[in-house]
Amino acid sequence: MVKGYAIGRAAVMSAAALEVVHYRVASHEVESECERLRRALAQARDELQAMAGTLPEDAPRELGPLLTVHSMLLDDPMLFQQTCALITERHYNAEWALTSQGQTLAEQFALMEDDYLRERGADIRQVIERVLRVLSGSSSLLAELEAADSPEPLIVVARDISPADMLRLRGGRFAAFLTDLGGPTSHTAIVARSMNVPAVVGLGHLRALVRDGDTLIADGFTGVVLVNPSAQVLQEYRQRQADYARERAQLALLRDAPAVTLDGIAIKLEANIELPEEAQAAMLAGADGIGLFRSEFLFMGRRDLPTEQEQYQAYASVVKTMAGRPVTIRTLDLGADKNLDGDVTVASNPALGLRAIRYCLANPEIFATQLRALLRASLHGHVRILIPMISHMHEVHATRQAIDAACTELEARGVPYARNISLGAMVEIPAIAIAIEPFVESLDFLSIGTNDLIQYTLAIDRGDSDVADLYDPMHPAVLRLISHTINAGERAGKPVAVCGEMAGDARVTRMLLGLGLTEFSMHPAQLLDVKKEVRQAHSNALRVKVASALNRAERIDLASLSA
C-alpha cells in the first residue's frame, strides 16, 4: 500500500485485448509463425526503448530503469527461443505459445524466497502482455484513459499496471491506482510512491467487481476500497483527506530540523535505496545518509553481469549525491533460488541455502569485482560495506581477506581508493544476535535486518499467507535479540542501526528508542513521520519503560509509550 486517501470515479482498464485465441498451426506454417513472434517482440521492444529515450523531465526517476529492464527482457533471446520451441514442437500459435511460456516463468518466479524478486515475475507478465497486444493488433489498454477528460479525479482499477503504462498515466487526473496483483515492492507501488499518489495493490478480484464510473474511496493506510459509498462516508473521507494534507504540510517543515529527542539524544535517520537515482529522494527528505543500498538491484533484469566500471559508476553516483554523508552499500544478496542469468534452481529450503555472503564467497570472481568497484567508489566519500546473512566468524575473516585481495589488485593496477573503509554485518540470523560479542569486536558497525530476523526467530515464512498472522515484530523474543545487539554495540562503542521495515514504522519508533536505538534507516518517504516521533519522545524515560517490559517478558504496549 502507498499511504494517502483518494476519492474519485473508477476508470477500469479492460483486459479484453489479452483474451487471445488458441489454435494449432500446420507444419509448413511454423517458420512464419516464429517470424511473426519475432517481429512482435521487436516492435514491443522498440516501443519501450523509444519511450525510455524520450522521458519527460517530470517523469518519476524510477521509470527510466524500469523501462530499460522491460526492454532487456524483450531482447532476451531465451524468451524467443523457448517460445518458438513451443510453436515448433507443439504447433501452438504464437499467442498460445507465449502465454504458456509466460505461465512457466511466472511459476518459477513465484517459488523465489526474496519478496522483491518474487514480485519481479510481474515484469515477465507485463512484457508478455505488451507483446500479446502487438500480436493481436489491438490498441493500447490505456487509450481511453489517456483521452479521458474527466471533471473529477479518476482512480485507475487494473489487473496490473506496467511501468510504461504508469508513465503514460502520469499526466492525467488520477487520484489513485488499484490493482488485483502486486505487493509492496511491485512497480505500481514503487512508482506510485514516487509520484506521491495513493495505491492499494494485491486486491485479488477488485477489477471484476467495479464498473467504469463507480465512485470509489481508496484508503492507502488500511488497504480498504469502498465502492459507491454513502454521502456520510464520503464526507468523512473528505475530512480525512484534508486532515492528512495539513499533516503532510506540517511534516515538510521538519525536513531541516534536527532529529533530537526531548532529552537531547541525537538520532540518525538514514534512507534505504535500491537504485542510484533514489539517492536524490533521500537528500530531498533530509536523510543523514544512506543506511542501506541494496546492490543486487544493479544485477537484476539483465543477461550479463554488471562490469566493475558499471558498478563503480553506480556506487560513485550515490556517494557524490550524498555529498559527504555516509553511504552503506550491502554486497550482493542473491543465491539459492535466484541466479543472475535468469535461470532458476530451487533449493530444498532456499531461505536457509546458498544466499547472500555464502553465495558471494562461493563465487569469488563476482564478489571480487563488486569489492573493487566499492573500494574505488569510496574515494568520493564515506562508503561503508555491509555484509548480509553473516552467521559465523570465519565469514567475517573470509570477507576481510577478499577485501584485502581487492585492494592488492587495485594497487597493482595503480587505481586509487580510500584506505580506511568501514566493514559491517547484517544482524538477521538469530545466531549472530545471541553470540554478538565477537562480531561487535571484529566489525566497525552492525545493521539489524528485522525482516529476516523476525522470520528466522519465529520460523515464519513472511511470504506465506497461511502463516502471515504469526509474523510478529513485537514478539518478546525478537525484541530481546534487538536489545541484546544494541546493548553490545553500546558497550563496544560501535554503531548499531535498524534497516528493516520496523525502522520506517512510526508506530514503533518510540519502542525502538526505548531499546536504545540511535540509528534508523528507511524508505525516504517514511523519514519525516519517524522524525516527528523522535522529536516528541523522551529517550531515557522510554528506555526505563521498555526495559521493564522486556525483563518481565511481556508484550510492550505501544500506546503506553506515548503517554
Our measurement of the distance from residue 297's CA atom to the centroid of its chain's CA atoms, rounded to an integer in Å, reads 9
Tell me if 321 sits within 8 A of 314, measured CB to CB. Answer: no
Residue 34 among the catalytic residues: no
User: Phi/psi at 250 (nearest 5 deg)?
Assistant: -70, -40
CA torsion, ordered 440, 441, 443, 445, to nearest 10 deg: 50
Tell me if 346 sits within 8 A of 337, measured CB to CB. Answer: yes
Residue 382 among the catalytic residues: no
Place of cell 512482435: 40
Question: What CA–CA distance (Å, rounded) separates 307 from 305?
Answer: 6
Place of cell 552499500: 329
Name which of 200, 249, 202 is nearest 221 in CA terms: 200
Q: Where is 540: in which H helix or E strand?
A: helix 539-551
DSSP 342-394: S-----SSGGGSSBTHHHHHHSHHHHHHHHHHHHHHGGGS-EEEEESS--SHH
Task: Identify the active-site residue in 34, 70, 84, 187.
Answer: 187
Task: Identify the active-site residue in 34, 84, 360, 499.
Answer: 499
Buried-exposed string 442-452: b where 16+ CB fall within 10 A, e elsewhere: ebebbbbbbbb
User: Phi/psi at 102 (nearest 5 deg)?
Assistant: -60, -40
As annotated, the active-site residues are: 187, 499
